[in-house]
A and B are shown apart, each in its own frame.
Chain A
Amino acid sequence: METAKKHFFIDISVMLGRSMRHIFRSMDTIITVTITPIAMMLLFVYVFGGAIKTGTDNYVNYLLPGILLMAIASGIAYTAFRLFTDVQKGIFQRFHTMPISRSALLWGHVLTSLVSNAISVAVIILVALIMGFRSSAGVLPWLAVAGILALFTLALTWVAAIAGLSAKTVDGASAFSYPLIFLPFISSAFVPTESMPTVVRVFAENQPVTSIVESIRALLAGQPLHNDIWIALAWCVGIMLVAYVFAMRVYKKKV
């Protein structure tokens, strides 16, 4: 049992090392993932920003949480893509005929997704700092923000795993992420929900992005947390568990 456990961790670390090499050898994926959110941020701050009334004097501060979620949503499309190519190419077949843990293969992709999204998030925060983002939050709130973002990434990564494992074409593997990328638009990420028509507003206030955005915004601004944080956590954990079960089911059928 002990060696099995040891092997499991060796397997995962080899898989992680492998896909990190993939990521660093195709830095264009990081650029692709960060460019749209950064463009959105520029557009909203310098073009629409003046017209948007958020009740804060620093619109970059207001905008950043939603932009980060957008980046993660587009980042996980690459997780689906990498998983899809692994399944299609012979390399997964080779792994599957070896006495290595099957779940380590998936977990390797999941960890990779966490690391690569963390890189994108860091890049975007840097750009935001240049654009005037400021936060008075201390270490603990920042850690909490990191935790929420990681949980959000995990939840979406398992959704991506379902897509990557079951897709028939490359486009199919990443198409699922488009609606996710646009989810922040119908939330409080860019403008307060009060300004929206009732139907849209009801949707906006009850979809996961709003509660996550509100929680992160409060943490970064050093404001007290409301119920939002629990709703946000419940969404993330809920999506993660459901997606995990389905992803595992698809994976077992595949191998």
Chain B
Amino acid sequence: MQTKSIQVKGLRKSYKHLEVLKGVDFEVEQGSIFALLGSNGAGKTTVVKILTTLLAPDGGTAAINGFDVSSQQDEVRQAISLTGQFAAVDEILTGRENLIMIAKLRYLKNPRQVAEDMLKRFGLTEAADRRASTYSGGMRRRLDIALSLVGKPKIIFLDEPTTGLDPEARIEVWKVVKELADGGTTVLLTTQYLEEAEQLADRIAILHEGRIIASGTLSDLKKLYPATKVEYIEKQPSLEEIFLSIIGKKEAM
């Protein structure tokens, strides 16, 4: 039985002279939520693009459900779905038409019904027959995620799913992500927000200067924090503090 949904070993990628990934390693357990945490420009999108067959790696290996992303693209694409950093909806089509289109492209039996169910699930029934270009940012994001879930892919990639959303829409997205994982879907999400990783993820990996500088559960990461100082009030370090402390240590070296 394959229990690792995603296995990444020594992944390298450069754009011309810019070395973005210098050997990235991580694994994602089936049915878990994995957060790839990194600041803007850290290379999160590059990792996601490689894992979703959009970009070829320069070195290292990456496997999805045991299938290599470079040589077994068809099998990989059967298993995955991507919600990219920028909403990938057809703005001229209505929400319903978008969903039906994707359901047809996944060769599902009853595209209309699938669309209807998704609209209901994501609270888009009222807006169903309006063009997606008229949707608010939050609605567009929900449609985007709904499109990714059509056909029930086993592994979902969410690249900064809440960037640019207002707090209310952000909480909605969080709810969806949690439901997904409860339903057995593996989720890899990237984020710049420590709070988001803290809220959602079973495991967190911090991508910094081309490498994973720390990974584990939230409590693993908390252990990396310098020994608790003797203070009158014992304070739990937040992920933010851990992050800054790790980066600070690396840079001091």
Q: Which residues of A contact B (CB under 8 A)?
A: 7, 10-11, 14, 17-18, 21-22, 25-26, 89-91, 93-100, 255
Residue from B89, B92, B148 within 8 A of A25 (CB atoms): B92
* Shortest beta-carbon distance from B33 to chain A in Å: 20
Q: Are A89 and B88 in contact (CB under 8 A)?
A: yes
Using CB atoms, name the residue of chain B closest to A18.
Answer: B101
Q: Does B107 contact A (CB under 8 A)?
A: yes
Does the CB pair B93–A98 fall under 8 Å?
no
Complex contact B105–A91 (CB within 8 A): no
With A93-B82, A96-B53 given, is the CB distance from A18 to B77 under 8 Å?
A: no
> Could you tell me the distance between the alpha carbons of A10 and B105 in the complex, rounded to whole angstroms?
7
A93/B84 contact (C-beta < 8 A), A98-B77, A98-B106 known: yes
Q: Are A91 and B53 in contact (CB under 8 A)?
A: no
A93 adjacent to B54 (CB under 8 Å): yes
Contact A97 B92 (CB under 8 A): no
Please tell me the number of chain B residues within 8 Å of chain A, measured between CB atoms. Answer: 28
A-contacting residues of B (Cβ < 8 Å)? 52-54, 74, 77-78, 80-82, 84, 86-93, 97, 101-102, 104-107, 131, 147-148
Question: Could you pull out 7 A-B pairs where Cβ atoms are within 8 angstroms?
Answer: A14-B101, A21-B92, A25-B92, A90-B89, A94-B147, A98-B105, A98-B106
Q: Which residues of B contact A17 (CB under 8 A)?
A: 101
Task: List A contacts of B86 (CB < 8 A).
Answer: 89-90
Please, which residues of chain A bring their CB within 8 A of the CB of B78? 99
Contacts of B82 in A (CB 8 A): 93-94, 97
Q: How far, in angstroms, from A10 to B53 measured CA to CA in the complex?
A: 22
Nearest 6 Cβ contacts at the A-B interface = A90-B88, A94-B88, A99-B77, A97-B82, A97-B52, A14-B104
Q: Are A97 and B81 in contact (CB under 8 A)?
A: yes
Chain B neighbourhood of A10, CB < 8 A:
104-105, 107
Distance in angstroms from A13 CB to nearest chain B CB is 8
- Chain A residues, CB < 8 A from B53: 96-97
In angstroms, Cα B92 to Cα A168, docked, is 22
Chain B residues, CB < 8 A from A18: 90, 93, 101
Q: For the complex, what is the distance from the CA of A99 to the CA of B88, rounded to whole Å? A: 16
A96 CB contacts on chain B under 8 angstroms: 53-54
Check B80 against A91 for contact (C-beta < 8 Å).
no
Contacts of A21 in B (CB 8 A): 92-93, 97
A residues in contact with B92, CB < 8 Å: 21-22, 25-26
Whole-angstrom distance from the CB of B132 to the nearest CB of chain A? Answer: 10
